[in-house]
Amino acid sequence: MESLLEKKKRAKKILAALKKAYPKAKCSLDYRNPVQLLVATILSAQCTDARVNKTTPSLFSRCKTARDFADASLPELEKHVRATGFYHNKAKNIQGACRMIVEKYGGKVPKSMEEILELPGVARKTANIVLGNAYGVIEGVPVDTHAIRISRLWGFTKHTDPKKIEKDLMEIVPREDWLKISDLFVHHGRAICIARRPRCSVCPVEKICPKKGLPKEWVR
């Protein structure tokens, strides 16, 4: 069984290789302020970032501040976010979160994990993305579907629960890379480590990836 120290060493090599492969990796959601990033991240649940980015221009042209989202009618918000799926809950959470931001935080998205987790529709993934990208506050690792799948493939975790996976990743990845590895997971998951059929033969970390769980016929 691989020790924690061995995982840390392997994680360091993988991070170096991925940073070289994806030097421009960053949050792929389009936004202009923390409120818009919060909204876009809520919309990205069970939806691709590309779809969210096609949806938000019309929404953000109408709503630029927390007050705008708080005062908008729920049917109007639902109309704007319908294409992202689960639009009833997403619109409700966006409006609820923005009303709390206006009433409790003076219209500004809070900058602490404890406070931002109070907002409707916000769990740790969303909180980490917003805090890290909007404010440079690094409290944890954003764990999305790419992170769940690839971190298990790399043998960094055996869990499927995002909170447990985040804890495992925080133990082996340096704090300064907690946000970066999330962006790298996304870029690598889209370009090479594709869920339906990973392109192992051209993977920049092929030689140090344990390929846990992959069918043998896929591995070359």
Active site residues: 125, 144
The residues, ordered by sequence, that sit 6+ positions from 220 with a Cβ below 8 Å of its Cβ are 200, 201
Residue 196: CB atoms within 10 A of its CB come to 4
Residue 57 vs residues 43, 53, 140, 211: alpha-carbon distances, Å: 13, 7, 29, 39
Q: Can you tell me the distance from the alpha carbon of 19 to that of 4, in angstroms, rounded to the nearest whole number?
A: 22
52 within 8 A of 43, measured Cβ to Cβ:
yes
